[in-house]
């Protein structure tokens, strides 16, 4: 990392949805993203992890304004100038979106089945018109080669490709506008295990070659460990731990992170790790627990004064060790354990 201005500076970002609103019923508010702040450096990968429903994908879509934020700011430093991406409109928004792209979880659903691959890759150029028409065909062929696909596949339709090939096409489309940041929303979860490694290697090669920054959203902690420089752990819309990948996997400091890591498989059949998943079920995000959202499932908040504080006081995201933040009142007491990945 450098001391230069970060590429992305997210400040107290929140996204809420109103559920069950009717004529005379105002409905209930679901806070899918709750006061999230972090920065992302140029060329850095941030892994965002957590159980299903924790707000990972909503965070990614809100960053790109596929969902309009309820509150907070998303500041982008593009071409030497910082802009509040969460408020710009019109042509300025369109131009800024060239620098921000997304690769979706389901490659089959994200590609138009009625368009050939040539037309799919031509579409970004047609919308933004930043490349002379005479150069577009060469750009399309170059994108296919960059993601490891043959040119003779350009006139085929998405249904004739495997899942891994479709995801490569989705990656090529995201690269067409030469972005600085790509949000990868579970990009390998729909792929066979044998294909995941190939796509992850492709993403790392592209990052090195193009100087890309990634936000890598996943529940696969092994994939995140391979590709991410830093890890953000989310629970019920909040970031509960933020650290370098090395620090996080060596010594997690939030009980929820410990529970997630306990489920990570050990690549040795002779070794066993004592699994300690969170007790109980995930609370409703419409009516989350008071204080620390995790206290109803936390093995460290069992009774007495500890439970009273955890249930009554919202913990702040604090720097527990150098560049290692955790949202836990008792994070200093949570030492490296046998559950952590070594």
Query: How many domains does the chain contain in total?
Result: 1
When pLDDT is averaged across residues 5-17 and rounded to a whole number, the result is 95
When pLDDT is averaged across residues 88-110 and rounded to a whole number, the result is 91
Q: Would you say residue 335 lies in a domain?
A: yes
Note the pLDDT of residue 253: 92
In percent, the amount of the chain with pLDDT more than 70 equals: 93
When pLDDT is averaged across residues 237-243 and rounded to a whole number, the result is 97
Q: Would you say residue 181 lies in a domain?
A: no
Q: Would you say residue 46 lies in a domain?
A: no
Q: Would you say residue 288 lies in a domain?
A: yes
Q: Tokens in use for 306?
A: 């500890």
> pTM for this structure?
0.91
Residue 13: closest CA among 65, 83, 61, 62 = 62
- Worst-scoring range by mean pLDDT, 21-30, 85-94, 131-140? 21-30
Query: Domain of 297?
Result: 254-342
**Residues with Cβ within 8 Å of residue 310, at least 6 apart in sequence:** 291, 292, 295, 298, 301, 329
When pLDDT is averaged across residues 213-225 and rounded to a whole number, the result is 94
DSSP state of 265: P
**Residues with Cβ within 8 Å of residue 175, at least 6 apart in sequence:** 101, 143, 146, 147, 206, 210
Q: Would you say residue 211 lies in a domain?
A: no
Residue 230: closest CA among 102, 60, 48 = 48
- Worst-scoring range by mean pLDDT, 36-45, 72-81, 313-322? 72-81
Q: Would you say residue 339 lies in a domain?
A: yes
Q: Would you say residue 298 lies in a domain?
A: yes
45-49 β-sheet, strand order: 100-103, 181-185, 213-217, 45-49, 230-235, 238-244, 324-326, 318-321
Alpha-carbon gap, residue 202 to 250, rounded angstroms: 26
- Averaged confidence pLDDT in the chain: 90
């Amino acid at each position: 990392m450098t001391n230069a201005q970060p590429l992305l500076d997210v400040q107290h970002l929140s996204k809420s949805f109103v559920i069950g609103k009717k004529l005379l019923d105002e409905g209930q508010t679901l806070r899918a993203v709750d006061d999230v702040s972090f920065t992302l450096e140029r060329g850095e990968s941030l892994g965002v992890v957590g159980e299903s429903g924790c707000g990972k994908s909503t965070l990614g879509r809100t960053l790109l304004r596929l969902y309009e934020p309820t509150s907070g700011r998303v500041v982008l430093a593009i071409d030497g100038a910082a802009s509040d991406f969460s408020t710009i409109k019109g042509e300025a928004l369109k131009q800024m979106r060239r620098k921000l792209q997304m690769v979706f979880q389901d490659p089959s659903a994200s590609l138009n089945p009625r368009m050939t691959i040539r037309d799919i890759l031509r579409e970004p150029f047609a919308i933004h018109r930043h490349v002379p028409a005479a150069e577009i065909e060469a750009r399309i062929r170059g994108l296919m080669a960059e993601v490891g696909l043959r040119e003779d596949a350009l006139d085929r339709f998405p249904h004739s490709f495997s899942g891994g090939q479709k995801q490569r096409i989705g990656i090529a489309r995201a690269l067409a506008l030469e972005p600085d940041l790509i949000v990868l929303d579970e990009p390998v979860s729909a792929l066979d295990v044998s294909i995941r490694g190939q796509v992850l290697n492709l993403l790392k090669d592209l990052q090195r070659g193009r100087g890309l920054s990634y936000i890598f959203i996943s529940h696969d902690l092994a994939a995140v460990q391979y590709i991410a420089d830093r890890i953000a752990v989310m629970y019920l819309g909040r970031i509960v731990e933020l650290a370098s990948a090395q620090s996080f996997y060596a010594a997690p400091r939030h009980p929820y992170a410990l529970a997630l890591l306990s489920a990570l498989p050990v690549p040795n059949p002779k070794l066993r790790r004592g699994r300690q998943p969170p007790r109980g079920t995930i609370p409703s995000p419409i009516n989350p627990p008071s204080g620390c959202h995790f206290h109803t499932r936390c093995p460290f908040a069992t009774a007495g004064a500890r439970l009273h504080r955890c249930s009554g006081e919202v913990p702040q995201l604090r720097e527990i060790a150098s560049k290692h933040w955790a949202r836990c009142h008792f994070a200093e007491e949570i030492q490296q354990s046998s559950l952590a990945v070594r």
